């Protein structure tokens, strides 16, 4: 097991989701006092979101992780106004949060083409500075990647998430019969006949205590934050991490997963959630499914089966509950349809909420205007 863990950590090293950079704006150019010439401003350092870029590529191509803007040109007889130094553009993947070392957020780049200046170039020498240039801004910044996907597969190790992603999409994930097969996030695209696409992220398996950063808890849980809907995947036969750990039933496994999400960030459970009950091809799966569904329907009667800290105040409501067998394909076509339906329901709800907000804003404005028409504007008269 130790040998497997070493392999996992080494493989995860190929996926980089956090990077620290040194950025410095270029210095300004010298001015010319006798001619009143202005030196050119130094170049800025920009981060630009671009498709197909990874933080790993940045790390490999720029081992020193230093980015500097160009120096502004000095003023001269031929050019009294010196040219601006060349800007330095650093291409980054979408989904990047840019922060200082202290954790202050500078910007968030979600959409392709989003850009932010992270280090301003120095001003060129001019009359106001005695024709002496200033140096560019210097910063240490952190790039923190959080995956952006429509849906994210969440579950304990060996729940069959990788097999499920392969069955749903064309993603080629590493699959094996032991826990911790997935050691880095993968994204697959579910394709529909009308060319509609739904992105699904396979997040590495959690363990109990992930919310306290056990294992690689925070590295994985943070990717859930920007995913629109959660796909919780549970093995119908339950889960056992190792021989020394207890065998959890599907009912217990589900609520332990929910506990990890709640304790990491309770806002995650405000997302739409689809429950996928996997491995329906196993022996006695139908019987176990019936028992699991009965426990879900009468959850208060079975809360004594859960650890004290896994008993929720309010039991989670699922958008859909779908039994499938990822390895044989049973239930996969239905799941594909329900994933799209669930997203469309969420979009319709968001549109309706926006419409209601606009109507309320118009009513408030109309009420204010009506009140103003009845009373007239308030005019403050000066005291004599």
DSSP letter string, 14-73: TS--EEEEEEEPPPPPPPBTTTTBBPPPPPPEEEEE-TT--HHHHHHH-TT-EEEPPPPP
Mean pLDDT across 114-130: 95
CATH code of the domain covering residue 213: 3.40.50.300
Whether residue 247 is contained in a domain is answered as yes
Highest mean pLDDT among 2-11, 180-189, 240-249, 309-318: 240-249
* CB-based contacts of 273, cutoff 8 Å, min separation 6: 229, 230, 231, 232, 316, 317, 318, 319
| Under 8 Å between Cβ of 237 and 296 | no
Residue of 171 and 94 predicted with greater confidence: 94
Mean pLDDT across 319-331: 93
Mean pLDDT across 345-371: 86
Q: What is the pLDDT of residues 172-221, one digit of tens each?
A: 554 434 333 444 667 888 989 888 888 888 876 565 544 444 444 445 66
Return the DSSP state at 199. E
Q: Do 254 and 315 have their domain in common?
A: yes
Amino acid 110: pLDDT: 86
Amino acid 376: pLDDT: 60
Q: Do 319 and 175 have their domain in common?
A: yes
Q: Do 86 and 121 have their domain in common?
A: yes
Kindly tell me if the per-residue pLDDT of 308 is higher than 80.
Answer: no
Whether residue 7 is contained in a domain is answered as no
Helix, strand, or coil (residue 327): coil
Q: Do 124 and 273 have their domain in common?
A: no
Confidence of residue 381 (pLDDT cuts 50, 70, 90): low
Amino acid 269: pLDDT: 83
Q: Which of 128, 145, 162 is the last residue of a domain?
A: 145
Kindly tell me if the per-residue pLDDT of 377 is higher than 80.
Answer: no
Kindly tell me if the per-residue pLDDT of 10 is higher than 50.
Answer: no
Whether residue 178 is contained in a domain is answered as yes
Q: Do 131 and 273 have their domain in common?
A: no
Q: Do 321 and 179 have their domain in common?
A: yes
Q: Do 207 and 120 have their domain in common?
A: no
Q: Do 174 and 298 have their domain in common?
A: yes
What percentage of residues in the chain have a pLDDT greater than 70?
A: 83
Whether residue 242 is contained in a domain is answered as yes
Q: What is the pLDDT of residues 11-63, one digit of tens each?
A: 344 567 789 999 999 999 999 998 889 999 999 999 999 988 888 899 999 99
Amino acid 145: pLDDT: 83
Q: Do 234 and 167 have their domain in common?
A: yes
Whether residue 367 is contained in a domain is answered as no
Whether residue 37 is contained in a domain is answered as yes
Q: Which of 127, 145, 163 is the last residue of a domain?
A: 145
C-alpha 43/C-alpha 39 separation (Å) is: 12
Residue of 360 and 312 predicted with greater confidence: 360
**Residue 197 belongs to what domain range?**
151-345
Q: Do 24 and 54 have their domain in common?
A: yes
Q: Do 227 and 287 have their domain in common?
A: yes
Whether residue 353 is contained in a domain is answered as no
Q: What is the pLDDT of residues 223-232, one digit of tens each?
A: 777 788 999 9
Q: What is the pLDDT of residues 69-93, one digit of tens each?
A: 999 999 998 999 999 999 999 999 9
Q: What is the pLDDT of residues 171-183, one digit of tens each?
A: 655 443 433 344 4
Q: Which of 90, 124, 145 is the last residue of a domain?
A: 145
Q: What is the pLDDT of residues 266-284, one digit of tens each?
A: 888 888 999 999 999 999 9
CATH code of the domain covering residue 42: 2.70.210.12
Whether residue 162 is contained in a domain is answered as yes
Q: Do 103 and 215 have their domain in common?
A: no
Let me know the angle formed at the C-alpha of 280 by 162 and 180, rounded to the nearest 5 degrees.
30
Amino acid 328: pLDDT: 94
Q: For the chain, what is the domain count?
A: 2
């Amino acid at each position: 097991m130790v040998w497997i863990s070493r392999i996992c950590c080494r493989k995860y090293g190929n996926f980089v989701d956090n990077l620290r950079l040194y950025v410095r704006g270029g210095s300004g150019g010298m001015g010319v006092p006798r001619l009143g010439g202005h030196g050119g401003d130094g170049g800025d350092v920009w981060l630009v979101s671009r498709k197909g870029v990874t933080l790993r590529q940045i790390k490999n191509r720029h081992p020193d992780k230093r980015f500097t803007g160009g120096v502004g040109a000095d003023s001269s007889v031929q050019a009294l106004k010196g040219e601006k130094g060349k800007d330095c553009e650093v291409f980054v993947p979408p989904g990047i949060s840019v922060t200082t070392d202290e954790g202050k957020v500078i910007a968030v780049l979600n959409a392709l083409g989003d850009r932010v200046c992270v280090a301003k170039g120095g001003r060129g020498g001019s009359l106001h500075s005695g024709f002496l240039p200033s140096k560019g801004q210097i910063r240490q910044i952190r790039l923190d990647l959080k995956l952006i996907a429509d849906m994210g597969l969440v579950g304990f190790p060996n729940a069959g998430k990788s097999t499920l992603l392969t069955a749903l999409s064309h993603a080629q994930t590493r699959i094996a019969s032991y826990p911790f097969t997935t050691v880095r996030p993968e994204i697959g695209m579910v394709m529909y006949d009308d060319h509609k696409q739904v992105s699904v992220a396979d997040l590495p398996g959690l363990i109990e205590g992930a919310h306290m950063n056990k294992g690689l808890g925070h590295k994985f849980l943070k990717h859930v934050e920007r995913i629109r809907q959660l796909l919780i995947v549970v093995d119908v036969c339950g889960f056992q991490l190792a021989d020394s750990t207890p065998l959890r039933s599907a009912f217990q496994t589900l609520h332990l997963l929910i506990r990890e999400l709640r304790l990491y960030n309770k806002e995650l459970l405000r997302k739409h959630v689809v429950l996928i009950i996997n491995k329906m091809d196993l022996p006695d799966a139908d019987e176990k499914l019936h028992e699991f569904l009965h426990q879900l329907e009468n959850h208060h009667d079975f809360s004594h089966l859960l650890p004290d800290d896994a008993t929720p105040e309010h039991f989670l409501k699922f958008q859909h509950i779908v039994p499938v067998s990822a390895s044989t394909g049973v239930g996969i076509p239905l799941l594909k349809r329900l994933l799209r339906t669930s997203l469309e329901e969420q979009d319709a709800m968001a549109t309706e909420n926006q419409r209601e907000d606009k109507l309320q804003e118009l009513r408030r404005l109309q009420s204010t205007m009506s009140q103003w028409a009845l009373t007239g504007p308030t005019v403050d008269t000066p005291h004599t």
